[in-house]
Amino acid sequence: MKKTLCVVSKTESALKGQPALMVVRLMLPLRKIVTAPMMYGKIVGDVMANQWEHQVIIITGASAGIGKALAYALAPQSPKLVLVARDRLRLEAVAEACEGLGAMTLVVPTDVADPQACEEMIQRVIAKFDKVDVLVNNAGLSMWATVEDTQDVTRMKRIIDVNLLGSMYCTKLALPFLKDTQGRIVAISSVASLTGVPSHAAYCASKHAMNGFFESLRLELSETGVSVTIVAPDFVQSEIHVRSLGADGKPLGRLLQDHGSFLSAEACADIIIKAMTQRKRFVITSLRGKVGRWVKLCFPGMIDWMAKKGVAEAYRK
């Protein structure tokens, strides 16, 4: 029975502000029946299975990696997916696959580093669907180079423009519509936002700043019904490493060592969906990230050593 009550509590939290919650509450007396846990679990499962039906979900960086995996994972629940990235052809391929799984889609090629392009993207979403329920700020760019070795300082600015300012632009412009629906904002940060990482200074700076922006935004929106969820993935099997900029400002064009041992994009997408369903505040995807967050408070030197070792192993050829 305690397990059943736990399920009820988690489900009510996840469905906060939604009509479906009334259905769950009406079924509470079923717990008094002998078969209540089984029946109630089925009811909860059915409600959760339809969580995203007809919901308008904007996913930036949707052409590959985590964004694409997230779109594929959500599609069977019949949402209205807005797929945002720069590559139209790849977005259209993702859209076709999502529609085959049951979703409606809108492809909007956009460079999130351009505020005018972001505004036009939101306008297209409203013109097509008339609302926004979820915004997933996933578009990102990485860089593998020490500050000293970086040949073109404007490449650092590009990292900030995409990772930080792109998320800020999209969030600011979508905010009035998210308030109308008491929607969800999801920021895909990184475990690199929790500490310094060598050869990742610009990337870390962008992710640290993302955390500060969205933590502050959560406080500003605390009375509006809009939730803000920050997800900090560890290494993930995605193309971000192939597209990462090197010291010369050009993409590295190769996968990192031990790429196959990283968390899959599909598993990461599942974690993100669970977090945004439950309107979580902050989620770290790896055990070392969760433990390291606290170890750093008492033994910062140990975390520095781990960061250096991790980068050296990942980047070895």
Give the whole-angstrom CA distance, residue 257 versus residue 68. Answer: 23
Question: For residue 60, which phi and psi values (nearest 5 degrees)?
Answer: -85, 155
Q: Are residues 61 and 26 in the same domain?
A: no
Shared domain check, 105 and 19 = no
| Domain membership of residue 115 as a residue range | 53-315
CATH number of the domain where residue 118 is located = 3.40.50.720
The pair of three-digit structure tokens given for residue 230, joined into one six-digit string: 């920050």
Predicted confidence at residue 258, as pLDDT, reads: 58
Same domain, 62 and 18: no
Secondary structure in 3-state letters for the chain: CHHHHHHHHHHHHHCCCCCHHHHHHHCHHHHHCCCHHHHHHHHHHHHHHCCCCCCEEEEECCCCHHHHHHHHHHHHHCCEEEEEECCHHHHHHHHHHHHHHCCEEEEEECCCCCHHHHHHHHHHHHHHHCCCCEEEECCCCCECCCCCCCCCCHHHHHHHHHHHHHHHHHHHHHHHHHHHHCCEEEEECCHHHCCCCCCCHHHHHHHHHHHHHHHHHHHHCCCCCCEEEEEECCCEECCHHHHCECCCCCECCCCCCCHHHCEEHHHHHHHHHHHHHCCCCEEECCHHHHHHHHHHHHCHHHHHHHHHHHHHHHHCC
The answer to whether residues 28 and 65 belong to one domain is: no
What residues contact residue 279 under an 8 Å CB cut-off, 6+ apart? 13, 14, 16, 184, 227, 229
Q: Are residues 87 and 101 in the same domain?
A: yes
Residues 6+ apart with CB under 8 A from 37: 1, 3, 4, 31
User: Of the residues 40, 72, 169, 203, which is catalytic?
Assistant: 203
* pLDDT for residue 314: 67
**Residue 86: per-residue pLDDT:** 96
Q: Are residues 225 and 139 in the same domain?
A: yes
Digits of tens for pLDDT over the chain (317 positions)? 444 444 444 444 445 555 444 444 444 444 443 444 445 444 444 445 579 999 999 999 999 999 999 999 999 999 999 999 999 999 999 999 999 999 999 999 999 999 999 999 999 999 999 999 999 999 999 888 889 989 989 999 999 999 999 999 999 999 999 999 999 999 999 988 998 888 889 999 999 999 999 999 999 999 999 999 999 998 777 767 677 788 888 877 666 555 555 789 999 999 999 999 999 999 999 888 888 888 888 888 888 888 887 777 766 55
For the chain, how many structural domains are there in total? Answer: 2
Using an 8 Å Cβ cutoff, are 140 and 189 in contact? no
Please tell me the predicted confidence (pLDDT) of residue 248: 83
Between the alpha carbon of residue 181 and those of residues 130, 177, 220, the distances in Å are 11, 7, 17
Give yes or no: residues 284 and 151 share one domain. Answer: yes
Residues in Cβ contact with 5 at an 8 Å cutoff, skipping those fewer than 6 apart: 31
Regarding whether 208 and 59 lie in a shared domain, the answer is yes
203 in catalytic set: yes
Do 33 and 96 have their domain in common?
no
Q: 152, 47, 62: which is closest to 98 by C-alpha?
A: 62
Q: Are residues 57 and 39 in the same domain?
A: no
- 131 and 15 in a common domain: no
**What integer pLDDT is reported at residue 27 of this predicted model?**
46
